[in-house]
Amino acid sequence: MRLLSTLVTTAAALLAIAQAQLTGRVGPLTTAAQKAAIKTCNVLNYGGKADNTTDVSGPLYNAWLDCRDGGLVYIPPGNYVMDSWINLRSGNAAGVQLDGIIYRRGTDGGTMITIRGCNDFEFFSGTSKGAIQGGGWEFLKDDLYGPRFIRVEQTHSFSMHGFALVDSPAYYTVFDDVSDGEIYNIIMRGITVGMTDGVDLAGSNVWVHDIEITNGDECVTVKSGSSNLLIESIHCNISGGNAIGSLGTGTSISDVLYRNIYCNQADPAYLKTNNGSGTVKNIMWDNVIVHGGAYVLALNEGWGEDRGSTGVQLTNLTFKNWWGYNSNNSRAVIRLECDPDVPCTGITLSNINLWTNAAGATNVKWTCQSAFGSGACLRKTPATSYAYSATTVSTAPATWSTVRMPNDHSSAFPRTKFTIPPIPTTFFPGLKPFSKLLSISGPGGLNKEVGEAREVEPTAIIAENRMHLTDVPAPISVPDFPVATLTTF
């Protein structure tokens, strides 16, 4: 009864937090079927060929021009190549259905597909088998970089889901100045090398969920200019991990919830800045599992280039319900090092069960500097700044060891060709994705005579067109790893 009561209380509290993050509905305003019913622009009708030889960039761009005022661009199953990069601009009630595989063949820098200034937009695979294959190893094996995959900017009421992004020569996705969006059911897989960020996000009222990322840099990272974000069911499967930053001058980030985060050889939470300015407030990381990370739980206000300002003010940051260990015990497993000019306040750590699996290790370290709150080495009463201090902890938490995902990688991929993986059906132990993978036939699923009849709505969370604030799903407790009682260090 005690465990059940704890889980119910936690679920209720987290539902309230989740509702506080998203401020309204997310995703496109019309379904893919509705878009396709207005107009369908099949790239094969614009000179495209699924022959793995003919450049699809021109046909894709021209199809977009015909459908961007209301319609659906359709890339049927098959293999396509891309030599030139395109900008999909000024779409309204428009979308792109990628059921084929696009192989990068061009070698220019920049971004392969830029989406800008769109409203009521959807980029998805109807078969859940669409992909972009970047062949990044051809650049990265020589320590060079090629084009980024996808950039979305100044776009609102949008979704992106249901496909694989494989072996990018640089960043995978960047979202800048976006709102009311949903990003989900995506796998990103590539080489372990820097400057290959998975999801870089600056926006408001965006739900990111059910994503697996293997890369060498950031997993799902929040950038300045963000508020009301819900990021959950994320599997960082050998990655630099999740971050906030790096942060420069004029920083503004608030009301972000990271929940149900699983990290295999990746960092769950790394906030980084150095003499920037502005504020970061009201951030929570809840229900986190980590199997090896360099900087497991870290606030570092001395990271990177000195921005020459007064420092970023960090307030009301909460870390709760963590299990796992670091991969390098030469670093602190908990690191809370704040700017002496603007000390961190309102930092809370509760039920943190972190240790090390380093051979022969008998203790871990916590480090604090100018950080105030409760838990670990934090000082309780805000006053003046204080110098760096380290605390050695020699007693392991009782429940730091926990479950693993069955598809965890044991080592980084070599710098050679990649096969395209299927989209996983789970992204956190014990949890199903919020939305089933699509398996529809034809543009928008309008080919009713093929395959089973089904709803085309991509998220299928509710019967209504899009998700409302009150429909944010409640957190689901993981039943098969220990739930420790509340601990304040």
Q: Which two tokens stand for residue 132?
A: 């972009």
Q: Which of the residues are catalytic?
A: 217, 291
Q: Which two tokens stand for residue 374?
A: 């409760």
Q: Are 21 and 256 in contact, with CB atoms under 8 Å apart?
A: yes
Which residues, listed in sequence order, are joined to residue 317 by a DSSP beta bridge? 283, 347
- Chain CA centroid to CA 481, Å: 24
Q: Which two tokens stand for residue 38?
A: 């207005």
373/345 Cα distance (integer angstroms): 6
Q: Are 102 and 82 in contact, with CB atoms under 8 Å apart?
A: yes
Query: What spatial distance separates the first Cα and last Cα of the chain, rounded to whole Å?
Result: 26
- Looking at residue 422, the DSSP 8-state letter turns out to be P
Q: Are 312 and 337 in contact, with CB atoms under 8 Å apart?
A: no
Q: Are 357 and 293 in contact, with CB atoms under 8 Å apart?
A: no
CA distances from 319 to 221, 350, 351, 354 (A): 17, 6, 8, 12
Q: Which residue has the tokens 């094969």?
A: 44
95/131 Cα distance (integer angstroms): 16
Which residues, listed in sequence order, are joined to residue 245 by a DSSP beta bridge? 272
Output the CA angle 456-432-267, nearest 5 degrees.
115
Beta strands 364-369; 389-393: pairing state: antiparallel
